[in-house]
Amino acid sequence: MSNEEIINTYKIAKEKYAELGVDVENVLNKLNKISLSIHCWQGDDVAGFEKADSKLSGGGIQVTGNYPGKARNIAELRMDLKKVYSLIPGKHRLNLHAIYGDFGGKYFDRDQISPEHFKGWVDWARENDLKIDFNSTCFSHPMANSGFTLSSKDKFIRDFWIKHVKKAREISAFIGKEQNNPCIHNLWIPDGSKDLPVDRFGYRKILKDSLDDIFSVKYKKSELKDALESKLFGIGSEAFVVGSHEFYLGYVLTHGKMICLDLGHFHPTELVADKVSSILQFSDELLLHISRPVRWDSDHVVTLNDDLKFLSEEVVRSGNIDKIHLGLDFFDASINRIGAWTIGARATLKSLLIAFLEPTKKLKEYEEKSDNFARLALLEELKTMPFGIIWDYYCQKMNVPVEAEIINDIHKYESKVTSKRY
């Protein structure tokens, strides 16, 4: 459709939503305030830049596929990220892992990284009007080969990872101070065992003590916010994961931290969306990692499926969206990586748009009157409402490609840029 056709159809769609009591212009203003934390690791298959030949190697996660054109260095990754941001409406953040530092061609082990290795990222983010979040990298390292890091019974291994996470938090605080906005530091560890352990209590006691040591170093909340990411199971830890949902939920609620819920870290039939309203009764903030599991925590590219729509509905209906931080967390090396990033980010924003377009007040009124038929009928009507027209209008307004233009745009970038990487 031409720009004029999009505007004309938008006016019709806007009137349709107005009949339900929805102010579409107000909805678009709300959507424009959403800031997704875009994960850097989709661009190079979680390899990082510690060494010239760095690649993901173990630690409970796995990337499948070998599509050509991945970023091989910081310059290429930044180029690809700029392209991705140009395809996503709104202003968003950058989520870095500790292995993505600018190490100047030298090797620094994980317990030796420092803020100076990320000053270049801070400068780049400032130039591009971005804010940064950060993650410790407790996998893909010889010291993680045993399957245990912060919960290891080997003090030498445990102390190495404690120091690494302390360094990562120091870097996060530096970033937060430099950007005058809190940097969220998220901690995920792969610790667990393939078969049934005997001393579950012992491992979890060690992890608790390690966390207490790590968090004994205090930073201003205006600079750093801590999140802990739980998991049900992983590759090589099918029988036992030390940092379970119950463990971390208990820890964050008693230590003033934030829980991170990843959509792929729970039972395949478990509705992560249902946890939002419970956690927000007791916690000031919540971090959500948006992923798409297929039978297991496979980190497929996020699409506009029911799980994502349910999650966005709960985020919006809770009335606490200002307390919820949204980050993407998937990595697919089997397709165009720019396309993967773009599809996932835009799908997440579309799901939030759908949730914002819901006449929640009217639905709650039906619910209060126990008119469950009317509630269900209205929910069904919403499924065929023209939200896609609203989405295209928003993209056009924000000067990014509308849905029908995405394929050609990314193919052109591939032809000119990523296909030249050998």
Q: Which of 262, 314, 332, 358 is catalytic?
A: 262
- What the block records as the tokens of 231 is 């998991």
Determine the length of the chain: 422
Same domain, 409 and 331: no
Residue 57 or residue 106, greater confidence: 106
Q: Which of 44, 50, 80, 299 is catalytic?
A: 299
Same domain, 215 and 75: yes
Residue range 252-259: mean pLDDT, rounded? 98
Residue range 376-380: mean pLDDT, rounded? 98
Q: What is the mean pLDDT of the chain?
A: 97
In a domain, residue 271? The reply is yes
What are 80-123's pLDDT values in tens digits?
Answer: 999 999 999 999 999 999 999 999 999 999 999 999 999 999 99
To the query of whether residue 188 is one of the catalytic residues in this protein, the response is yes
To the query of whether residue 226 is one of the catalytic residues in this protein, the response is no
To the query of whether residue 265 is one of the catalytic residues in this protein, the response is yes
Per-residue pLDDT at 296: 87
What are 296-306's pLDDT values in tens digits?
Answer: 889 999 999 99
CATH label of the domain that carries residue 107: 3.20.20.150
In a domain, residue 28? The reply is no
To the query of whether residue 141 is one of the catalytic residues in this protein, the response is no
Tell me phi and psi for residue 183, to 5 degrees.
-95, 125
Q: How many domains does the chain have?
A: 2
pLDDT for 137 beyond 80:
yes
User: Is 289 in contact with 260 (CB distance < 8 Å)?
Assistant: yes
Last residue of a domain, one of 331, 356, 381: 356
β-partners of residue 36 are 326
The residue segments making up the domain with residue 204 are 35-356
pTM for this entry: 0.97
What are 192-207's pLDDT values in tens digits?
Answer: 999 999 999 999 999 9
Per-residue pLDDT at 93: 98
Q: Which of 313, 329, 332, 414 is catalytic?
A: 329
Q: Which of 45, 229, 285, 313 is catalytic?
A: 229
Same domain, 370 and 335: no
In a domain, residue 29? The reply is no
Give 43's pLDDT tier (boundaries 50, 70, 90): very high
Same domain, 391 and 260: no
Distance CA 345, CA 349 (A): 6
Runs of H (alpha helix) within 180-259: 200-214, 245-255
Q: Which of 231, 245, 275, 350 is catalytic?
A: 231
User: Is 178 in contact with 169 (CB distance < 8 Å)?
Assistant: no
Last residue of a domain, one of 356, 382, 411: 356
pLDDT for 58 beyond 80:
no
Same domain, 99 and 5: no
To the query of whether residue 262 is one of the catalytic residues in this protein, the response is yes
Same domain, 323 and 412: no
**CA distance to 135, 137, 179, per residue, from 174 (Å):** 13, 17, 9
In a domain, residue 279? The reply is yes
In a domain, residue 333? The reply is yes
For residue 34, what are the contacts with CB-CB under 8 A and spacing of at least 6?
Answer: 90, 321, 326, 349, 352
Same domain, 206 and 96: yes
Q: Which of 185, 265, 309, 350 is catalytic?
A: 265
In a domain, residue 263? The reply is yes
Per-residue pLDDT at 55: 86
Start-to-end CA distance of the chain, whole Å, equals: 37
Per-residue pLDDT at 52: 86
Last residue of a domain, one of 356, 378, 395: 356
pLDDT for 398 beyond 80:
yes
Geometric angle at alpha carbon 301, from 299 and 305, rounded to 5°: 105
To the query of whether residue 289 is one of the catalytic residues in this protein, the response is yes
Residue range 285-304: mean pLDDT, rounded? 95
Residue range 373-402: mean pLDDT, rounded? 98
Task: Report percent pLDDT > 70 for the chain.
Answer: 100
State the DSSP string of 105-136: T----GGG--GGGGHHHHHHHHHTT--EEEE-
Same domain, 170 and 295: yes
What are 331-366's pLDDT values in tens digits?
Answer: 999 999 999 999 999 999 999 999 999 999 999 999
Per-residue pLDDT at 155: 98
Q: Which of 50, 80, 133, 297 is catalytic?
A: 297
To the query of whether residue 297 is one of the catalytic residues in this protein, the response is yes
Same domain, 98 and 211: yes
Give 173's pLDDT tier (boundaries 50, 70, 90): very high
Same domain, 64 and 191: yes
Give 420's pLDDT tier (boundaries 50, 70, 90): very high
Same domain, 7 and 75: no
Q: Which of 141, 167, 225, 289 is catalytic?
A: 289
Per-residue pLDDT at 60: 80
- 21: amino acid identity, one letter: G
To the query of whether residue 231 is one of the catalytic residues in this protein, the response is yes
Distance CA 157, CA 142 (A): 10
pLDDT for 408 beyond 80:
yes
In a domain, residue 27? The reply is no
In a domain, residue 78? The reply is yes
Per-residue pLDDT at 235: 87
To the query of whether residue 161 is one of the catalytic residues in this protein, the response is no
Residue range 178-203: mean pLDDT, rounded? 98
Same domain, 336 and 406: no
